[in-house]
Amino acid sequence: MLKRIGLMFITFIITVFLFFFIIKLMPDNHVPSLGVGNDWYEQLAEKEGWNEPIVVQFGLWVKNIVTEGNFGYSKIMNRDVAEAYFKKIPASVRINIVPYLLSVPIAIIIGVLAALKKNKWQDTVISVWIMVFISVPFFVVGVVAQYFFYWKWQIAPDYKIATASEFTELGFWYGISTYIMPVIIITLASIPHMARSVRAELTEQMTTDYMLLARAKGLTHNQAVFRHALRNALVPILPGIFIGVIGVLNGGIITERLFRVDGTGSMYLDAFNGRDYALLMLINTFGQFLTLVSAIVADLSYTLFDPRVRVGSGKLS
């Protein structure tokens, strides 16, 4: 187990270094402004060692993080990147948390329903819905929904979510009501993947021998399904639930672009468009870090919930 975590950690460091390396290959288009002293630029060049080899710069970057918690200086916002970036997380969480909390139980219910009613009309309806939402890109669903709900039928109060100033001006309830449409769309779009795997796992579990044994012991069909099959079917899905937390923290670029959320995803796009390398570096590192944590948690969850799995005890292939 420790060996596996160690390997993941090494992978994490290597990928972060790769990002750093590529970002440092970018041209530095800084043009010193005339007449004004170039203090901040020279200070940064001194502090981050811009004239040193890239490996040394990486060392300095890590040192600054460890000693001062300083991830670099943002070009487009003119302040410390970490401070600016972590401030945006609440906005992303606000829009993503409800869909996440709703979609997990709904997906499980729908998956179970489809598996129990296999090849009946309920299953067909669910399958078609899953097919459509998995196939059609989320941004298309979002844009079309905005068009119909806001412009055509005028049900939704706005096509984007309310900003902080709109919250104070137009009242709390108006602000909340702008969240309804995005939340419904995100929920609808995030259910299908999980529902599909629940359905596949459960149908597979229902054909196994222990189900036959359970029925032979005298359990009813429902008892057998919910006490035995469902438990086993949910084991492979648990890591996905934990990984979903990352999505909540990290925001979705498309969601935030569509509904004008001022969160981490839109900051990522800003960093890309404004070529803010320090910010890009932070976002990528943070994303990698979350991936690392979730991978470890997912592995741990396997060992916790499924005693048959002992991670690190040799590879299954």
Binding site for other proteins (CB under 8 A): 7, 11-12, 14-15, 18-19, 22-23, 25-27, 131-132, 134-140, 143-144, 146-147, 151-152, 253-254, 257, 269, 272-273, 275, 280, 284, 287-288, 291, 317
Q: How far apart are the first and last CA of the chain?
A: 18
Closest CB to other proteins among residues 51, 317: 317
CA angle 29, 33, 35 (to 5 degrees): 155
Question: Among candidates 223, 169, 181, 191, which has minimal Cα distance to 114?
Answer: 191
Instruction: Report how far residue 180's alpha carbon sits from residue 253's, in angstroms, rounded to the nearest whole number.
Output: 19
**In this structure, which amino acid lies at residue 64?**
N
Q: Which two tokens stand for residue 83?
A: 């401070």
Q: How far is the CB of 111 from other proteins (least distance, A)?
A: 18
Q: How far is the CB of 86 from other proteins (least distance, A)?
A: 19
Residue carrying structure tokens 């509904």: 259
Closest CB to other proteins among residues 130, 230: 130
CA distance to 114, 229, 245, 295, per residue, from 107 (Å): 10, 17, 16, 22
Closest CB to other proteins among residues 219, 311: 311
Q: How far is the CB of 307 from other proteins (least distance, A)?
A: 26
Burial 100-120 (b: 16+ CB within 10 A, else e): bebbbebbbebbbbbbbeeee
Closest CB to other proteins among residues 18, 212: 18
Residue carrying structure tokens 């108006």: 174
Q: How far is the CB of 284 from other proteins (least distance, A)?
A: 5
User: Would you say 105 and 194 are in contact if contact means Cβ atoms under 8 Å apart?
Assistant: no
User: Would you say 202 and 236 are in contact if contact means Cβ atoms under 8 Å apart?
Assistant: no
Closest CB to other proteins among residues 11, 64: 11
CA angle 212, 214, 216 (to 5 degrees): 70
Closest CB to other proteins among residues 45, 254: 254
User: Would you say 57 and 48 are in contact if contact means Cβ atoms under 8 Å apart?
Assistant: yes
The DSSP symbol for 236 reads G
The DSSP symbol for 237 reads G
Closest CB to other proteins among residues 134, 212: 134
Closest CB to other proteins among residues 18, 55: 18
